[in-house]
Amino acid sequence: MLRYELLHPGLVAALAAAGHGSRVLLADANYPHSTGARPGAARVHLNLRPGLLTVDQVLEVLLDAVPVESAAVMVPGGVSGDVVAAGEEIPAHTGYRGLLGPGVGWDELDRFAFYDAARSDDVAVLVATGDQRVYANLLLTLGVRTPAP
């Protein structure tokens, strides 16, 4: 029996196999889950239906289970027809910053740079969510456990 909130066996196993510097991609419902991460990354599907679960809900549980060193988000890159203008505040990102707190590094990547980062060799886990918000993808870099006193 686990003592913290994260109970999903597949996600627990994938996180346990990851280490310092490994990345965890929390992907929204529009993300290409099958091709948007390196082939060897574990894939955990929590996208039960549109809107359930959200990236925020998954992040809240993950923060109890793993240390997070930094985060990267996808932002508009001047793509024609984009639903959010470059430089506009993205509501999902405001919530992530609040959950992560001030000690976590923050990086903003345009769509194609984000896809490149998400397909890199250090991505250990892709978590598919049902989050329908635009630019709700979040790429976490795991930190180190602090030694017990």
pLDDT tier at 88, thresholds 50, 70, 90: confident
Question: Which domains does the chain carry?
Answer: 20-142 (3.40.1650.10)
pTM to 2 decimals? 0.92
d(CA 93, CA 57): 13
Of 65-69, 94-98, 144-148, the one with minimum mean pLDDT is: 144-148
76-86: average pLDDT? 65
Q: How many CB atoms lie within 10 A of CB 105?
A: 12
Q: Taking 90 as the threshold, does the pLDDT of residue 87 lie above it?
A: no
Q: What is the dihedral of CA 4, 135, 35, 39, to 10 degrees?
A: -40
Q: Considering only CA atoms, which of 71, 63, 74 is closest in space to residue 131?
A: 74
In a 3-state reduction of DSSP, which class is residue 113? helix
Average pLDDT, the chain: 92
Eight-state DSSP code of residue 49: B
In a 3-state reduction of DSSP, which class is residue 65? helix
